[in-house]
A and B are shown apart, each in its own frame.
Chain A
Amino acid sequence: MPRLSAWFVRTSLAYLAIGFTLGSLMLINEGLPFAPQLTNVLPAHIEILTMGWVMQLALGVAYWILPRFSRGLPRGNVVVAWASLVLINTGILFVACSVFIQAAGLSLLGRFLEVVSILLFISVTWRRVRSSF
């Protein structure tokens, strides 16, 4: 798989590990209460697993397996695709961290970065969704 896909997939696996850890702590806390404030972590748990795990894995695999261009750059503009990876991860971190430090502005900025990242990713892969080249 291309280097960028490997980064997307490994990052998604890292988020899965973090999301599973947060989820397990919350579940343990239901049976064996040890930290009442853990229930506040739920939005970060959801963000990490939906955006961090599932969506990033899908992006990484799509970048890898979608039909390639026969001329020029086989997977489109690599710089834009890398920018998408950086922005999505910055966005996810901002949204997840905003849960812990109670910063609504940080969450808003994170969501904005996520949208920009996805628009960049779509711009790179849109023309690869074709029957033939």
Chain B
Amino acid sequence: MPLLSRLFLKTSFIYLAVGLILGILLAGQAVWNLPGFVSALDPVYIHLLTVGWLTLLIFGVAYWMFPKYSMERPHGNDQISWAAYFLLNIGLILRVLTEPLLAQNFNSFLAGWLVISALFQWLGGILFIANLWKRVKVK
């Protein structure tokens, strides 16, 4: 399995674990006396599991298993795939850090980072799709 696939997969497992721990916190609000920002973790919880776990897992497996682009460049443009990996992860982590706090107390500094998070995730997704698209070949 190529290095980038291993990174995608292992990172996705970490997001899965963190997401499920957040799930405990969200369910625990009814039982424990938790800080107020926990109630704002819902969107982060969902996106840790759908973007962080599911999408990164699929990207890692697709990068590994999809038909080769060519003999010289089996995975297409590797620089684009690596850029997608970092953009998606930095974007998602920025979201995790900023969105719950912003929901509690709006400030323009956090809002700016949330916008950057959205742009990074979008660009990461589009870059990966563009590179993978060429490997969806009919045989």
Contacts and interface: CB of A to CB of B under 8 A. Distances in A.
Question: What is the size category of the interface that chain B forms with chain A?
Answer: 20 to 34
Contacts of A2: 138-139
Contacts of A16: 55, 125, 129
A12 to B, nearest CB: 10
Contacts of A31: 98, 102, 110-115, 118
Nearest to B119: A24
A27 B25 CA distance: 23
Contact of B133 (A1, A13, A23, A25): A13
B122 A21 contact: yes
Contact of B67 (A1, A13, A24): A1
Q: Is the interface of B mostly helix, strand, loop or mixed?
A: helix
A80 interface: no
The CB with the most chain B CB atoms within 10 A, among A2, A10, A28, A54, is that of: A28
Contact of B118 (A6, A24, A54, A57): A24
B30 to A, nearest CB: 24
A28 B112 CA distance: 9
The CB with the most chain B CB atoms within 10 A, among A2, A10, A16, A25, is that of: A16
Contact of B125 (A6, A10, A17, A28): A17
Given A16-B129, A27-B114, 8 more contacts: A2-B139, A9-B136, A10-B133, A16-B55, A20-B126, A27-B99, A27-B118, A31-B115
Interface of B: 50, 54-55, 58, 67, 95, 98-99, 102, 110-115, 117-119, 121-122, 125-126, 129, 132-133, 136-139
Interface of A: 1-3, 6, 9-10, 13, 16-17, 20-21, 23-25, 27-28, 30-32, 49, 54, 57
